[in-house]
Amino acid sequence: MSTKSYFEKLERQYGSLTFGGLLKAWREGEEMSQTAFAKRIGLSVQNLNDLEKGRRIPSPTRAARIAKKLGLPEAGMIELALRDSLNKEGFHYDVKLESA
């Protein structure tokens, strides 16, 4: 499944996604504690909590690393992180990445 269809399907079904919201949904779907999930993706529990609550937004590099550890599309996770960053600054744009 392409990145575009994967994340667009999720947004059609559940509404607009955020990076943190997707992480939390993934973790809860796997029935994992924050401690276990943080360890799986290589973060501290506090950092995971901050991401899930939208208090922190990952860099594109961190978003790609987390995507890889979860087996999710890298470009889609980077798009979510960039969109969250823009929204936090008051810019409400859709972000679409294309490989060069």
Domains and CATH numbers, the chain: 3-88 (1.10.260.40)
The two three-digit tokens of residue 74, written as one number:
């890298």
pLDDT, tens only, 9-39: 778 877 888 999 999 999 999 999 999 999 9
Q: Are 80 and 18 in contact (CB under 8 A)?
A: yes
- Write the CA distances from 96 to 38, 41, 45, 68, integer angstroms: 27, 24, 30, 19
Dist CA 23 CA 49 (whole Å):
10
pLDDT tens by residue, 49-67? 999 999 999 999 999 999 9
pLDDT given at position 62: 97
The CA distance from 64 to 70, in Å, is 10
- Which tops the pLDDT comparison, 15 or 43? 43
Answer whether residue 4 shows pLDDT above 50. yes
